[in-house]
Amino acid sequence: MREFSLAVVGATGLVGREMLRILEERGFPISRLKLFASERSTGLTLPFRGEKLKVEKLGQGSFRGIELALFSAGAEVSRNYAPQAQRVGAVVVDNSARFRMEPWVPLVIPEINPLDLDQQKGIVANPNCSTIQMLLVVYPLHLAARVERVFVSTYQSVSGTGEDAWEELAAQSRDLLEGRKAHPSVYPHQIAFNLIPQIGEFNQKGYCTEETKFLKETQKILHEKGIKIYATTVRVPVFRGHSQAVTVQTKGRLTAAQAKELLSQAPGVKLMEGDDYPLPIDCVGKDEVMVGRIREGEEEENILQLWIVADNLRKGAALNAIQIAELLKDKL
Amino acid sequence: MREFSLAVVGATGLVGREMLRILEERGFPISRLKLFASERSTGLTLPFRGEKLKVEKLGQGSFRGIELALFSAGAEVSRNYAPQAQRVGAVVVDNSARFRMEPWVPLVIPEINPLDLDQQKGIVANPNCSTIQMLLVVYPLHLAARVERVFVSTYQSVSGTGEDAWEELAAQSRDLLEGRKAHPSVYPHQIAFNLIPQIGEFNQKGYCTEETKFLKETQKILHEKGIKIYATTVRVPVFRGHSQAVTVQTKGRLTAAQAKELLSQAPGVKLMEGDDYPLPIDCVGKDEVMVGRIREGEEEENILQLWIVADNLRKGAALNAIQIAELLKDKL
């Protein structure tokens, strides 16, 4: 079997470390693996297949000989280094928002639009975590009954922000339980025992970045300009696992029973029924997007409601990127 | 000024104690105040206007001479004792779900349908916390542009369940932070650093009680059978304050600017704008229902989105009940 030379950029972050775990679990054929991170992490080592790999600093020539580069170090690093990797012939799978809306960059969920990879020109974008988990469930319903509007409210864990945010939730929770004040630093407000209904900056209409991503990314992935997504994105005091309350308005009628039947066969989706609904603490480390609480509105309304939970570090980020890499390697 | 003899049933609970605080703050004209609670609380005393009032056990003759009885001790106590209070001539304001959907019982939010109190026959029902805070904001929009559908996802604090749940969240959080396991007892699942997308029992269609209350109570309060509410109700690891992501579809067009103008003048509502949006930790102890993040969808869609937060123990329960009592006393 042919093996590939890989780079993971942002290897020490929550998503980067999850990538290493998944590459190992899935036995990705690797001839050489280079790990990159920011200056403060260089010199560290990370375990991979029984070895200890040194974390390097990005620089000129970092991507020489690399065939596939998985980026998860933020939009700034992607902006500065993804084109460099691309120039020396690597194919980049970028987890940041930097290239997602570039018309020449495929934005791919392997279960939905794998063929878009045929158009790749050296950079492929991984969608936002929230978009991935929502579409994995909404897409089969869309194929069956044409989804016209999605109303989604999110309950997003702090691991979506990164390790600092994880520690902030723990530290603030401890402080408050012991009668001390909480000290916000990563987030603009206290996150422990609280909610923050803003993820990213606001645009002129009052939508925050995380909300507009839903709409733009969905339209691009589904190649459907007509579908409307109305989102409210909220950070909640949960460590890991993003949840979504989703209501879809379909053109055709779809009963809850029909939706369950479709979702029981949907790739990457785990259907749960009745009292057995998905919880964020149960999705940690799981590959599937879990869906439960499927129920239908009044007949004339063509409305279905669902509760969707996924591990934002896996299918929401690292796993989807590696699934893309798996498809790409067969074409290199 | 005429003074009234009052009873508070469930006086030692979170809502009961909030009632005593609010009766004191608002200078409710009271000649005599009797406090009732379950057996395990009898003998306790609670402070009221500088005195210590003894908590009694409910029994035969408890309501003799009482003119107004505020019940907040659960549906079972209301079922057993509210009719007894009614029979001896007291007017009951009941915070439980027991009588809300009885056709002869007014279900009242004083800012919305105070005139329904004219039909009272001895029992008046206080709506569910979630309904109250949503309608205080949605009603002015409905008057202006006719709301046809509301899509609401809730983020409900543990204080809505009671003191045991409050302690469970604190204890589980401590246990988990110190590396121990969480032990669910009040809730069927871990609540600390987790979410529970179920409040109440499921009906045959898969909706839980808290979700169906939204629809039935809204239709009754607004006297509108046509309005549709699609709800997902979720318990979150927050101590106090319920939050809601609300999307309304209106018949007429309403811009975000028009909605803000309406809500800036709506009784009981506090409008917040831009980065200044409501958080559950900021609403504790406040009377107003706070609304922010008001934004509009595409023009042809007639859709508005909002973020609503309120102190579930105050306007969601104790305050609304006492506002009803204030209206009732002028008619006694």
Q: What is the CATH number of the domain that holds B49?
A: 3.40.50.720
Partners of A307 on chain B (C-beta within 8 Å) are 197, 232
Compute the distance between CA of residue B3 and CA of residue B19 in angstroms, rounded to an integer.
17
Give the confidence band of A176 by pLDDT, cuts at 50, 70, 90: very high
Give which of A189, A195, A199 to mutate to test B binding, by max B Cβ within 10 Å: A195
pLDDT of A24 higher than 90? yes
pLDDT on residue A209: 97
Same domain for A156 and A22: no
Q: How confident is the model at residue A227 (pLDDT cuts 50, 70, 90)?
A: very high
Q: ipTM of this complex > 0.85?
A: yes
Average pLDDT value for chain B: 97
B77 with B137, same domain: the answer is no
Q: Is the pLDDT at A56 greater than 90, yes or no?
A: yes
- pLDDT for position A1: 84
A242 annotated active-site: yes
CATH at A240:
3.30.360.10
* Run of H or E including A86: helix A75-87
User: CA B171, CA B182: separation in Å to the nearest integer?
Assistant: 8
pLDDT in tens, A31-45: 999 999 998 898 899
Q: Are residues A77 and A141 in the same domain?
A: no
- Residue A325 and residue A276 in one domain: no
Q: What is the mean pLDDT of residues A47-72?
A: 96
Owning domain of residue B84: 4-127+317-329
| A215 CA: distance to closest CA in chain B (Å) | 11
A166 and A37: one domain? no
Position B299 scores a pLDDT of 74
Amino acid at residue number B253: R
Q: Based on the structure, what is the number of domains in chain B?
A: 2
Residue A113 pLDDT more than 90?
Answer: yes
* A227, A219 Cβ separation under 8 angstroms: yes
Could you tell me where the beta strands, DSSP code E, fall in chain A?
Answer: 4-9, 30-37, 45-48, 51-57, 68-71, 91-94, 123-125, 147-155, 228-232, 242-250, 269-271, 289-296, 303-310
Verify whether the Cβ–Cβ distance A294 to B206 is below 8 Å: yes
**pLDDT class of A332 with cuts at 50, 70, 90:** confident
| pLDDT band at residue A202 using 50, 70 and 90 as cut-offs | very high
Nearest CB to B194: which of A247, A280, A301? Answer: A280
Would the pLDDT of A300 be above 90? no
B143 with B69, same domain: the answer is: no
Same domain, A324 and A304: no
- A123 shares a domain with A135: no
> Chain B partners of A198 at a C-beta cutoff of 8 Å?
275, 277, 293
Size of interface A-B (CB pairs under 8 A): 140
Amino acid at B30: I
What dihedral do alpha carbons A136, A139, A144, A149 form, nearest 10°?
130
Q: Which residues of chain B have pLDDT under 70?
A: none
Same domain, B195 and B302: yes
Q: Which of B183, B189, B223, B242 is catalytic?
A: B242
Q: What is the pLDDT of residue A326?
A: 98
The verdict on B196 and B321 lying in the same domain is: no
B272/B172 same-domain check = yes
Residue A203, pLDDT > 90, answer yes
Q: Are A237 and A192 in contact (CB under 8 A)?
A: yes
Enter the pTM of the model.
Answer: 0.97
pLDDT at A283: 97
Q: What angle do CA A92, A97, A99 make, to 5 degrees?
A: 50
Binned at pLDDT 50, 70 and 90, residue A85 comes out as very high
State the pLDDT at residue B170: 98
Same domain flag for B75 and B166: no
Collapsed DSSP state (helix, strand, coil) of residue A284: coil
Percent of chain A scored above 70 by pLDDT?
100
